[in-house]
């Protein structure tokens, strides 16, 4: 049985950042990276741009082979983890071979969630997570007359826009009552939704799909309330589930994802996890959605790598803060952190500028004078600075107003004095 000091499963954001962190501290330990794909790693986030044709598929690799060689990492493709025996620190691959590890990182990300909709298994539908998915969708999009997108999350919205630009008549169906729920507040969402409407995309919010049925060259989607909707192309973008199929009986606890502590250690000895595969706790300690985004995967990957290598500089992962940069029809929406709860007390403060009809929309959410969230459409600011202001629990005081007026400059001035 082959044996490595470190084995990393997956070769995407969490995995790559962990590799760097491990090597930064341990220059000698042997490392293997196992990826199930037969090609160089590609970020799921770049896929919409493959679908749209903005980027050819041969110019999107996150890393070249030489990068792994330089780090003296044994990078293996088509190495699909099938089962984990954490008691004996050993991993079985789909081809039956076994690999032993000293320390293991699970960074297998997530897979598209397929909702339990009657008839779905009988029709041809698309998802978007891998390059293959993207190529298939790009191909199908070229000829689709009518397209239906299930889910108005980032994946669904991106795809809908791409399909519309490719000439399809697109309908988005979203169960919740706004687009991009969890990413943007209702006002911002409405602005975005309006843009889709203006570009000929039909957006149905608060609607549920009851059933789908095959139809020549496509399918028919039956909505609650009875309206049928024909589609040449059906894209299911109803969220993701962690890629944990190989963890059954492994001794690694899984809830909504792999359960980890602040140093990304799983419940099994010598097994860490990072990225979309993990059940990410919220920085705010509440039910605010956390994880499932790229910056979190990177942060977690770094924390895990440092912890695995025993780097004394490792710091506890503070918890996930939602962070989104979303471009639509040449416009931009940005969000960081959380919105105020419906029944927030007096400690909450919400500053808003730009209601309906104005050029730009910005909402700043404070609690006890500390930044909780910033949501903006057609306003530019530096989400990274906002993120840091939230993590540092910086008291904004009188600066909150300046932040509302000019979020970019005000936050930068604050940053310059505080941590630059």
Ligand X SMILES: Cc1cc2nc3c(=O)[nH]c(=O)nc-3n(C[C@H](O)[C@H](O)[C@H](O)COP(=O)(O)OP(=O)(O)OC[C@H]3O[C@@H](n4cnc5c(N)ncnc54)[C@H](O)[C@@H]3O)c2cc1C
- By CB under 8 A, name the binding residues for another protein: 13, 16-17, 20, 43-46, 49, 54-55, 59-63, 294-295, 298, 302, 323-325, 327, 332, 334, 336, 380, 382-385, 387-388, 397-399, 402, 408-417, 419-420
> Is residue 15 near ligand X by the rule CB under 6 A?
yes
Q: Give the nearest distance from C-beta 310 to another protein in angstroms.
A: 15
> What residues does 351 pair with on adjacent strands?
364
Figure out which of the listed residues 4, 6, 8, 9 binds ligand X, where binding follows CB under 6 A: 9
Figure out which of the listed residues 109, 257, 373, 407 binds ligand X, where binding follows CB under 6 A: 109
Q: Give the nearest distance from C-beta 412 to another protein in angstroms.
A: 4
What backbone torsions phi and psi does residue 304 show, to the nearest 5 degrees?
-60, -45
Q: How many CB atoms lie within 10 A of CB 376?
A: 26
Q: Per CB under 6 A, which region of 163-171, 213-221, 279-287, 289-297 contacts ligand X?
A: 289-297
Q: Give the nearest distance from C-beta 372 to ligand X in angstroms.
A: 19
Q: Which is nearer to another protein, 54 or 65 (CB)?
A: 54
> Is residue 280 near ligand X by the rule CB under 6 A?
no
Q: Give the nearest distance from C-beta 256 to another protein in angstroms.
A: 23
Q: Per CB under 6 A, which region of 107-115, 337-345, 353-361, 362-370 contacts ligand X?
A: 107-115
Task: Please choose which of another protein, ligand X, none residue 384 contacts, taking the beta carbon within 5 to 8 angstroms, the exact cut-off set by kind.
Answer: another protein
CA 223 to chain centre: 27
The site that binds ligand X (CB under 6 A) totals a number of residues, namely 37
> Is residue 128 near ligand X by the rule CB under 6 A?
yes
> Is residue 180 near ligand X by the rule CB under 6 A?
no
Q: Per CB under 6 A, which region of 11-19, 68-76, 197-205, 400-408 contacts ligand X?
A: 11-19
Q: Give the nearest distance from C-beta 116 to another protein in angstroms.
A: 30
Task: Please choose which of ligand X, another protein, none residue 129 contacts, taking the beta carbon within 5 to 8 angstroms, the exact cut-off set by kind.
Answer: ligand X
> Is residue 308 near ligand X by the rule CB under 6 A?
no
> Is residue 292 near ligand X by the rule CB under 6 A?
yes
Q: Which stretches of the chain bind ligand X, using CB under 6 A?
A: 9-15, 34-37, 41, 43-45, 47-48, 80-81, 107-110, 128-129, 154-155, 243, 246, 275-277, 292-295, 297
């Amino acid at each position: 049985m082959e044996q490595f000091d470190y084995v990393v499963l997956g070769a995407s954001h969490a995995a790559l950042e962990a590799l760097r962190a491990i090597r930064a501290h341990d220059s000698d330990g042997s490392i293997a990276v196992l990826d199930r794909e037969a090609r160089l790693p590609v970020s799921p986030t770049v896929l919409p741009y493959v679908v749209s044709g903005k980027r050819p598929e041969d110019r999107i690799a996150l890393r070249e082979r030489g990068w792994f060689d330089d780090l003296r990492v044994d990078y293996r493709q088509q190495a699909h983890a099938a089962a984990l025996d954490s008691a004996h620190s050993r991993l079985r691959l789909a081809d039956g071979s076994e690999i032993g590890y000293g320390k293991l990182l699970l960074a297998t990300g997530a897979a598209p969630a397929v909702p339990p909709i009657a008839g779905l298994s009988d029709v041809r539908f698309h998802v978007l997570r891998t390059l293959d998915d993207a190529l298939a969708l790009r191909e199908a999009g070229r000829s689709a007359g009518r397209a239906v997108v299930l889910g108005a999350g980032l994946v669904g919205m991106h795809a809908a826009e791409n399909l519309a630009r490719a000439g399809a008549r697109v309908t988005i169906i979203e169960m919740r009552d706004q687009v991009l729920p969890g990413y943007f507040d209702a006002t911002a969402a409405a602005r975005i939704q309006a843009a889709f409407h203006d570009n000929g995309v039909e957006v149905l919010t608060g609607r549920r799909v009851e059933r789908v049925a095959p139809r020549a060259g496509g399918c028919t989607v039956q909505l609650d309330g009875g309206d049928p909707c024909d589609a040449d192309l059906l894209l299911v973008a109803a969220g993701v589930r962690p890629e944990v199929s190989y963890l059954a009986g492994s001794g690694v606890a899984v809830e909504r994802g792999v359960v980890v502590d602040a140093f990304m250690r799983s419940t099994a000895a010598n097994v860490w996890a990072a990225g979309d595969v993990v059940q990410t706790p919220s920085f705010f300690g509440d039910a605010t959605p956390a994880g499932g985004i790229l910056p979190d995967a990177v942060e977690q990957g770094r924390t895990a790598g440092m912890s695995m290598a025993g780097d004394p500089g490792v710091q506890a992962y503070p918890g996930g803060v939602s962070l989104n940069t979303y471009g639509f029809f040449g416009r931009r929406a940005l969000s960081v952190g959380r919105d105020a709860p419906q029944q927030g007390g007096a400690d909450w403060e919400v500053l808003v500028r730009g209601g309906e009809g104005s050029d730009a929309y910005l909402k700043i959410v404070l609690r006890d004078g500390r930044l909780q969230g910033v949501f903006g459409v057609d306003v530019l600011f530096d989400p990274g600075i906002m993120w840091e202001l939230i993590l540092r629990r910086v008291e904004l005081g009188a600066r909150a107003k300046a932040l509302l007026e000019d979020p970019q400059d005000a936050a930068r001035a604050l940053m310059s004095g505080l941590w630059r």
